[in-house]
Amino acid sequence: MAAQLERLRIYFVTWNVATKYPVQDLHQLLNVTCGNLKSLPDIYFIGLQEVKAQPQNMVLDIFFQEDPWTKSFRQVFTLLEVLKDYDYVKIRSQRLQGLVLNMFCLRKHITHLRLVEAQYTRTGFGGMWGNKGAVSIRLNIYGVSICVINTHLTPHDHLLTDRIADYNTILREHSFSAPDTSNILFHDYVFWIGDLNFRLHGEDLTAIDIDLLVKKNQLNLLLERDQLKLVMRNGDAFAELNENVIEFPPTYKFEFASQEFDLKRRPSWTDRILYKVNADVYDDVTLSAVQLNYKSHSNYIQSDHKPVTGEFDIMIRPNVEDHGVEFQPVSAWFIDEENSVSYKLIGDVRPVSGDWVGLFHNQFSSLDEYIVYEYVVRGRTTETSGVESSEPITERIFFSDSALRIPGMYRLVYVAQRGDLKGILGMSPPFPGHRRPL
């Protein structure tokens, strides 16, 4: 399949949900409509700001319970399971207080994911508090590296210098362990989304003035005052990134449950999607990202912000081989019995401490949904071909008699936790689990 691919389609959502819970249908926001089911993206990244957190959890950086918004988005994807070609799995969710970034990927791509890593940076109160800052997910897929950053920067019209400082703090302090991509901007593709909170320059422009210009569709006059465009041109912040032409009205601030501006604040384009392509890093291909659309969604009225979405086709390197794990066929697993499975380590794959094989229901929608898992034991092989041989190494892993309790269809997934191959190295075909006939 990899040889047939030339591009991946990635869909981004950014939305400041203003501490509200999800009540509106999310299908249209994700472009999951009856007329569009044949061109759904390969990967979704959904960045949210001001997701309500329980007071007792406000000081935690890691949240163990899925927030209502992530759950609601996952339910949309779960409904797509009837379409076998559009079967999404939640790969990673990263949260810092009200900031949430989720990644959903088509199941057919997940064994090509490598070096998946998530990070966060606080910028609130001089870096002491996570009410403002950034969360990110980086990964390699089909030979290219991708980094997605969801940010919520300092608000208010007059605090432009603070927003510039936030950006530079995130660039300086946000780092990854993946080789050659320790810095955000070192990745082949960078997508920076979020409530960046940039406003319109000049106090002479009142909220009423802005509202009138929007109603006359004279957006260009307003965009000339856009603080983000100004700092990009001046090289103060975000100068390394690009933004597609904005053709939608300001996304903030609206009256709740309305499509009318709340004129107590000056409307502005706070919610943005920026990107960067390091095009000439490989000899075999020139990388590129083509933005297919960039729009806001005015019909979502439960927040004082309108959500913004963008869709991209990115060039990949289909001839880059992914070494991984190939599970041997499993005819059946038996309930209340010890079961085992053999798998081959392809290429330069070797077990690392912390690697595990998880047992999942066939149609699992998140990597958190494992039924049980067993850690891989290094060197526990049933067949080897010698150190000098290039033949794959075969290993076997055992699951206890309590692993499986209910009849159904299942899968096994090999997850590498550390090392250069960190990611999902292999997934078995579905197999039945049932009681042994008497």
61 pLDDT above the threshold of 50: no
Q: Clarify whether residues 385 and 282 are in a common domain.
A: no
Phi, psi (deg, nearest 5) at residue 208:
-65, -40
Q: Is the dihedral of CA 43, 174, 185, 226 positive or negative?
A: positive
Instruction: Return phi, psi of residue 369, to 5°.
Output: -95, 20
- Is a pLDDT exceeding 60 seen at residue 96? yes
Task: Tell me the C-alpha to C-alpha distance, in Å, between residue 315 and each of 10, 66, 98, 106, 264.
Answer: 11, 32, 33, 17, 44
- Arithmetic mean of pLDDT, 315-340: 91
Query: Within this chain, do residues 310 and 373 fall inside the same structural domain, yes or no?
Result: no
Same domain, 195 and 268: yes
Are 163 and 288 in the same domain? yes
Rounded alpha-carbon distances, angstroms, from residue 122 to 97, 130, 309, 431: 10, 5, 25, 45
Strongest mean pLDDT among 40-44, 316-320, 363-367, 403-407? 40-44
Domain boundary among 315, 339, 374: 315
Identify whether the C-beta of residue 351 lies closer than 8 Å to the C-beta of residue 344: no
The yes-or-no verdict on residue 31 having pLDDT over 60 is yes
Looking at residue 423, its pLDDT comes to: 87
Per the document, the length of the chain is 438
CA distance 305 to 266: 13
On whether both 335 and 276 belong to a single domain, the answer is no
375 and 278 co-located in one domain: no
Shared-domain flag, residues 276 and 358? no
Residue 62 DSSP code: -
Supply the mean pLDDT for the chain: 89
- Higher-confidence position of 86 and 324: 324
Q: Per-residue pLDDT for 299 more than 50?
A: yes
CA distances from 191 to 11, 51, 57, 148, 185 (A): 11, 21, 29, 5, 10
Which residues make Cβ contacts (< 8 Å) with residue 312, sequence separation at least 6?
Answer: 9, 10, 12, 191, 275, 289, 290, 291, 292
pLDDT of residue 126: 66
- Give residue 32's pLDDT band: very low, low, confident or very high (50, 70, 90): confident
Q: pLDDT at residue 389 above 70?
A: no
Query: How far is Cα of residue 316 from the mean position of the Cα atoms in its chain?
Result: 17
Of 21-30, 74-83, 137-146, 289-298, where does mean pLDDT reach its minimum?
A: 74-83
One domain for residues 237 and 328: no
Between CA 75 and CA 302 the distance in angstroms is: 19
Where among 291, 315, 339 does a domain terminate?
A: 315
Confidence band (pLDDT; 50, 70, 90) for 54? low
Same-domain status, 248 and 266: yes
Confidence of residue 385 (pLDDT cuts 50, 70, 90): very low
What contacts 24+ positions apart, CB below 8 Å, involve 372-376?
A: 372/399, 372/400, 372/402, 372/403, 374/398, 374/399, 376/351, 376/414
Structural domain range at position 369: 324-434
- Across the range 243-247, mean pLDDT stands at 97
In a shared domain, residues 278 and 175: yes
Q: What's 409's domain CATH number? A: 2.60.40.2840
12 pLDDT more than 50: yes
The angle that helices 227-234 and 160-173 make with each other, rounded to 10 degrees, is: 60
The predicted-structure confidence for 197-234, as pLDDT tens digits, reads as follows 999 998 899 999 999 999 999 999 999 999 999 999 99
Report whether 29 contacts 17 (CB < 8 A).
no
In this structure, is residue 2 part of a structural domain? Answer: no
**Is a pLDDT exceeding 70 seen at residue 125?**
no
Q: State whether 253 and 226 are in the same domain.
A: yes
Q: Taking residues 387-400, what's their average pLDDT?
A: 77
Q: Are 417 and 355 in contact, with CB atoms under 8 Å apart?
A: yes
Whether 140 is covered by a domain: the verdict is yes
Segment among 55-69, 244-258, 290-304, 372-386 with least mean pLDDT: 55-69
Using a CB cutoff of 8 Å and minimum separation of 24, what contacts does 212-215 make? Answer: 214/249, 214/250, 214/261, 214/267
Provide the Cα torsion 32, 37, 42, 48; round to 10°: 0
Number of domains in the chain: 2
Assess if residue 1 is contained within a domain: no
**Mean pLDDT computed over 280-294:** 96
- Looking at the domain assignment, is residue 145 inside a domain? yes
Residue 382 in this model has a pLDDT that exceeds 50 = no
Q: Is the pLDDT reported for residue 38 higher than 90? A: no
Lowest-confidence range among 37-51, 66-80, 376-390? 376-390
Which of 315, 348, 372 is a domain's end point?
315
Q: For residue 281, give both structure tokens.
A: 């890093």
pLDDT above 70 covers a percentage of the chain that reads: 89
The model's pTM? 0.93
**Element of type H or E holding 172:** helix 160-173
Which of 325, 348, 270, 341 lies closest to 303, judged by CA? 270
Same domain, 203 and 262: yes
User: What 3-state DSSP class applies to 9?
Assistant: strand
CATH of the domain at 74: 3.60.10.10
pLDDT (0 to 100) of residue 352? 81
